[in-house]
Chains A and B, each alone.
Chain A
Amino acid sequence: MSTSHSETPEPPVRDQADVPGEVLPDHEGGRLEPAAASAPIAPTGPGGPLAAPATAPVANPMPRGRRSLLPTMTPWLAVGLTLVVAIGLFGAFGPFFVGDPDAINDIGLSGPSGANLLGTTQTGQDVLSQLAFATRGSLQIGLLVGVMATVLSAFFGIYGAYLGGFADEAFSLLSNVFLVIPGLPLVIVISGFVPPEDRGLWTIALVLALTSWAASSRVLRAQTLSVRNRDYVAASQLAGERPWRVIAVEILPNLLPVLASQFVYAVIAAILGEAGLSFLGLGASNSSTLGTMLFYAQNGFALPLGAWWWFVPPGLIIALFGMGLSLINFSIDEIIDPKLKNARTSRRRLRRAAQEGR
């Protein structure tokens, strides 16, 4: 029954991912080489002597395997990185260059002009200044919730799957229940019970994180289950390593791409969730995010008055930032599921072959 297949230690995706790299001489990975050498995702790691033979594939030289763990540069990835970096810089440094977002002027509700690049609000506040501060606020809460939700999902998904047995059953039931209970209504109800004076940034972040970890916990659990029974994990356990070390050193490096992609999704979901909550007037008090901007635009009758410059930019920033993150995730997905990458590169190869033949 047992084939020779199960004897050889198999790194999850690397072997397959190498195929296009082998055929295509212009595999862009060359440019990424220096980064790859110092990347922390090197599968060997400080795993001790026992882990070494298991993680060194005989047939494939190491660098190529490592390189395939980094995304290839595609036009869409470039677009995504540009969007994320540009909006990130705008949120981080924009507030230093714009005027006071709360300063009231007597030129209320004027369209974009030289003095106010994005026009003014009902009370003559500069929309661009507000946008800079609001972007910063939204990014902060997005990162905060992204980290918290990823930690929660990693705990329930990875730790549960590693322990197995009753703990796994219980954790997986818990995440499945949280998955089917709709998030935003729950968040709205919780915010409704908390008096506004107690509704701080951390409270909102905690509530958003508590309601959004379940989906990625399921993904991480599935991945962990497939890694948990590999030989090098067993070897590490036999060597008497403590559970947290086995998880951190043997299992976690294999999950890094998945973890990264789940983190990116968590940030998008958090920014969207917070925007919805703030738009309803239930966000953190005294915060200024893109959602609160839209809340004031809606309550200041921006829509009936036709003040598009007031309500279009905040939503556009959310959409573009989310798009940028999703595009980055596309490239991460190609690392997790090499079939996606093969489909792209093989088509390109065919096209080139057709051109050369002509």
Chain B
Amino acid sequence: MNYVLRKLLFYAVAVWAAITLNFAIPRLLPGNPVDILLAKLQQRGGTITPQSREAYAALLGGDTDDSLLHQYWTYLVNLAHGDLGTSVTYFPTKVTDVISTSMPWTITLVGIATIIAAILGVGLGAVVGWRPGTWLDSAVPATTILAAVPYFWLALVLVYLLARVLGWFPSQGGYDVVLDPGFNGPFLQSALLYGFLPALTIVLASLGGWMLGMRNMMVSTLSEDYVLTARAKGLPERTIMRNYAARNAVLPSIAGFAISLGFVVSGSVVTEQVFSYPGIGSKLLSAVQNNDYALMQGIFLYITLAVLGANLVVDLLYGLIDPRTRAKG
């Protein structure tokens, strides 16, 4: 279980790095975010007590009386209490509340789309890579255009074609606003309909990467001795492809999940903007446009933690799939 322990330790370091980065960024960059934020807060009718000023200064810097170490400590204590400040954009909602209402939208969208893209891409890649050199295989390079397409542009084109010209899908929002959000049939149906185009965007744009990676690994795996042995044993082709070649070829794709997820999350943040999707990406953007630094930092922290969590799960799964990770000390 050395592997699990090492992974947990690494992600602990990564979480610490993300939290510290969050602390350092506003202090390293020019500008005085605390004053701008408090001015905005006052405009919205918030009262500024010395305590709230101190809390924001701990979050964003600008407090010259305290030592940096003490500021860092206050920041960590506030973070541990789940206190990320008040959002200016959605005043007087707390940052944590804004995030908790928008996070499920993004996690569901990105999660489902990523799983579909990964399964579809790996499956297609395995089939194509199994017989390299066929016409199907020589058409594979054409899919690189999918990997190079900007997510938000693909979203624009899909909205234009499927929503505006054909009118099949709604082009804006995450659900029909006349409905009550909650676990009821009409709402879920509407969320599915509204989520189709954003999900299609993510699937199309990330499919190519999965497919190419899998195809290339499959081709490399074909010349391995164990595939030859399996053939010599007279095993059915399907069994060799599924249980021998594909199972080994998929490992680098899983190991490279962190890179893929990073691209998907980055892409979906911008895509949400095109659809005015009620997820965390749109919130991040309105936070940036309104100089809502507290919300900005909170969202960055949450996105990073979510990505780290997903990567940790995949890494632990990898440990289960690949026995070599356990054998090595």
| Residues of A participating in the B interface, judged by any CB pair closer than 8 Å | 76, 173, 176-177, 179-186, 188-195, 198, 215, 268, 272-273, 275-276, 279-282, 294, 298, 303-304, 306, 308, 311-312, 314-315, 318-323, 325-327, 330, 333, 337, 339-340, 342-344, 346-348, 350-351
Contact = CB atoms under 8 A, between A and B. Distances in A.
Q: Which of A184, A304, A308 counts the most chain B CB atoms within 10 A?
A: A184
Interface stretch (B70-78, B89-97, B267-275): B267-275
B144 interface: yes
Contact of A294 (B21, B132, B153, B219): B153
Contacts of B157: 312, 315
Contacts of A176: 10, 14
Nearest to A193: B29
Nearest to B149: A319
B136 to A, nearest CB: 12
B231 interface: no
B284 interface: yes
A347 B134 contact: yes
B148 A322 contact: yes
Interface of B is mostly: helix
The 6 tightest CB contacts between A and B, nearest first, are A322-B148, A347-B133, A315-B153, A184-B266, A326-B144, A343-B132
Contact of B284 (A185, A281, A344, A351): A185
B13 A173 contact: yes
Contacts of B160: 303, 306, 308, 311
A311 B222 CA distance: 43
A215, A322, A323, A351 interface centre (most CB from chain B within 10 Å): A323
B107 interface: no
A79 B290 CA distance: 45
B29 A190 contact: yes
Contact of B216 (A185, A198, A340): A340
Contacts of B285: 188, 280
A148 to B, nearest CB: 19
A333 B133 contact: no
A215 B307 CA distance: 16
B141 A330 contact: yes
B109 interface: no
Contact of A181 (B18, B144, B223, B274): B18
Contacts of B18: 181
Nearest to B163: A303
A181 B148 contact: no
A233 B259 CA distance: 32
B150 A315 contact: yes
A247 to B, nearest CB: 26
Contact of A194 (B29, B150, B265): B29
A282 to B, nearest CB: 7
B288 A191 contact: yes
Contact of B132 (A282, A344, A351): A344
Contacts of B133: 343-344, 346-348, 350-351
Given A308-B160, A314-B153, A177 B17 contact: yes
24 contacts: A180-B11, A182-B307, A183-B262, A184-B270, A185-B284, A188-B288, A189-B284, A192-B288, A193-B25, A193-B26, A273-B266, A279-B150, A279-B273, A294-B153, A303-B171, A318-B148, A318-B150, A322-B144, A327-B144, A333-B216, A337-B216, A339-B219, A344-B133, A350-B133
Interface stretch (B38-46, B293-301, B320-328): B293-301
B103 interface: no
Interface string B131-174: 01110001001001101111111101101100010000001000
Interface of B: 10-11, 13-14, 17-18, 21, 25-26, 29-31, 33, 132-134, 138, 141, 144-145, 147-154, 156-157, 159-160, 164, 171, 216, 219-220, 222-223, 258-259, 261-262, 265-267, 269-270, 273-274, 284-285, 287-289, 291, 293, 296-297, 299-300, 303-304, 307-308, 311
Interface centre among A280, A314, A321 (most CB of B within 10 A): A280
A308 B133 CA distance: 38
Contact of B266 (A182, A195, A281): A182
B164 A304 contact: yes
Contacts of B141: 76, 326-327, 330
B266 A185 contact: yes
A233 B128 CA distance: 40
Contacts of A179: 258-259, 262
A272 to B, nearest CB: 6
A190 B30 CA distance: 11
A255 to B, nearest CB: 19
B271 to A, nearest CB: 9
B220 A339 contact: yes
Contacts of A275: 150, 153
Centre residue among B31, B134, B141, B267 by max chain A CB count within 10 A = B141
B216 to A, nearest CB: 6
B125 to A, nearest CB: 13
Contact of B30 (A194, A281, A318): A194
Given A179-B259, A303-B159, 9 more contacts: A173-B13, A176-B10, A185-B299, A192-B291, A280-B285, A280-B288, A281-B289, A319-B149, A323-B145
B10 to A, nearest CB: 7
Contact of B220 (A268, A322, A340): A340
B31 A193 contact: yes
B293 A193 contact: yes
Contacts of B304: 181-182, 185-186
Nearest to B18: A181
Given A272-B148, A276-B151, A180 B288 contact: no
Contacts of B153: 275, 294, 311, 314-315, 318-319
A280 B303 contact: no
A182 B304 CA distance: 6
B269 A188 contact: yes
